[in-house]
Structure 1
Amino acid sequence: MKSYSEDPVAELQELTAALEDWLRFQRRLGWPGTPAEPEAPASEQVNEATGVLTLKEIRAELGDCKRCKLSRTRKNIVFGDGSARAALMFIGEGPGEEEDLQGLPFVGAAGQLLNNLLSKLGLRREEVYIANVVKCRPPGNREPEADESEKCLPFLRKQIEAIQPRVIVTLGRVATQGLLSTPAPLTRLRGQWQKYGKIRVMPTFHPSYLLRFPKERHKTWDDMQQVMEYLAAYEEN
């Protein structure tokens, strides 16, 4: 028989580990005197049947990303923001100056316009999920270069897989072409339903474009009416 009489520290460590295992078992059973183990938030759960990563795990995998040159000039990684169970997801191009400072997507002037649009549609920002093709600010707010997008897109695709939205709205040419892997111009795709796997995609203008050309805002409003009608019909079924 194994004895720890000559090593009381080892014996104490083994007893402590055994007690912790026993308590964890009791918590799972919810036995009296041992509070049930709290369920992890939806955003932190893993679908064990499919092995899909949670947003928290995807963010951990991204880490302090140095996969492309955008990491040299960024202040913050802008991962995404919103509900992990969102039926509606917005995807933009990349963070701007304010987003880079705050570490959140769409918080500058374009973000305010997006918030106003959501409000008019009867939605709260907390109900949707917002992300970008690239998660670090391109210097001078230039468009992301191909190699930069290629490094970030796998993480965006994992976010989509984790959230499983019913509709994705791509904001602008870069987001639309990047997600759909198409060279087709936004003018041809905007306002027309596309597909990303089984998920419906509605391409529309980026809010920054609408700030420069406010007369085009009605087109994005029309696009979003299609989105809301589809979501309403989905809920009814």
Structure 2
Amino acid sequence: MGIDEILLDMPAPDAVLSMSDLTSSEKTSQAGVSQAGTSQAGQATSQAPDSAIPETAAPETAGPETAGPVDNAVPHPALTPDLSASLAGISDLEGLRDALVALDGCALKHTASNLIFADGNPGARLMVIGDVPGRDEDRVGLPLVGSDGQLLDRMLASIGLSRADIYIVPLIPWRPPGNRTPTAEEMALLLPFLYRHVQLAAPEMILLLGGVTAKTMLPPGGGILKLRGRWHEIDYGDGTARPTLATLHPAYLTRSPAQKRLAFADLVALAGKLG
């Protein structure tokens, strides 16, 4: 089966968010949140954030077509003493979800329809960190639904995986109102929860989807076309350096089908790492 058959062209959704407001000197970001469940992603009609800024294929040199050497780890986010103690006291994923439900000081939870915690198999070897939730993720309460989720499923199938073999979390647990860009303060509050999510799920390796997520979690290195295709050893705060690979988001592939070969190369590298 050829790459164009595997990564079937889908109707192009609206653009994903820009990273321009998502970075800060403290490397603040967003954390994954929603109810863990079985794969319902292909059943909803997905649209990326309406007001989002396109993640364009900028005039930059693309990264390697095969995964390159390992880069240095990114330090995990600094925690306040209170938050550090609170997160350290959470011993399982159910407790982490409960902590997000009870979280004060984040207005996003009051404007969103659903908490988006996770989907798939919490015990999977591979964790996939998605993007900021959009309208349909908010409606369904699961990450990566609709056409984006269907394309992700095809991508996984191309290397013999399904949602039962992976664990998917969003970058942050709630959809920002009007699909606006999350603030630096919101990301600073939520990123430690994402790191704790990684620690509790304890995957062997992590796949980052899209430029927003890659720029949040990886060392500075340009846009997604430069960041993809390179393995990084990332310490998510528990002293374990986990192999982490960025690739193109399914929504990006529907807008830029010529880049499917790069995504397929990343998938082949991922399959090789998984063995």
Q: TM-score, normalised by structure 1?
A: 0.71
Q: For the residues of structure 1 that align with 2:204 and 2:182, how far apart are their CA atoms?
A: 27
Q: Which residue of 1 aligns with 2:268?
A: 225
Percent identity of the aligned residues? Answer: 37
1:1-237 matches, within 5 Å, as 53-180=91-218, 182=220, 184-197=222-235, 198-232=241-275
Classify 1:180/1:52 alpha carbon distance in 2 versus 1 (closer, same or farther; 3 Å): farther
Shift of 1:143: 3.8
Q: Which residue of 2 aligns with 1:235?
A: none
Shift of 1:149: 1.9
Is contact 1:169-1:203 (8 Å) kept? yes
Is contact 1:133-1:149 (8 Å) kept? no
Aligned-pair Cα RMSD in Å: 2.0
Measured against aligned partners, the alpha-carbon deviations of 1:56-113 in whole angstroms (never above 9, x if no partner) come to 1111111154533322321001011121211111111211111101111111221111
Q: For the residues of structure 2 that align with 1:111 and 1:70, how far apart are their CA atoms?
A: 23
Choose 1 or 2 for highest CA Rg.
1
Where structure 2 has 5 or more consecutive residues not aligned to the other structure, the ranges are 1-87, 236-240
What SS class does the counterpart of residue 246 from structure 2 fall into?
Answer: strand
Where structure 1 has 5 or more consecutive residues not aligned to the other structure, the ranges are 1-49, 233-237
Classify 1:220/1:174 alpha carbon distance in 2 versus 1 (closer, same or farther; 3 Å): same
Classify 1:164/1:186 alpha carbon distance in 2 versus 1 (closer, same or farther; 3 Å): same
Is contact 1:110-1:208 (8 Å) kept? yes
What SS class does the counterpart of residue 116 from structure 2 fall into?
Answer: coil
Is contact 2:221-2:227 (8 Å) kept? no
Is contact 1:52-1:161 (8 Å) kept? no
Q: How many residues align?
A: 183
Q: Which has the higher helix share?
A: 1
Is contact 2:90-2:96 (8 Å) kept? no
Shift of 1:183: 6.4
Shift of 1:126: 1.7
Q: TM-score, normalised by structure 2?
A: 0.62
Q: For the residues of structure 1 that align with 2:221 and 2:105, how far apart are their CA atoms?
A: 24
Classify 1:136/1:158 alpha carbon distance in 2 versus 1 (closer, same or farther; 3 Å): same
Amino acid corresponding to residue 71 of structure 1 in structure 2 = K
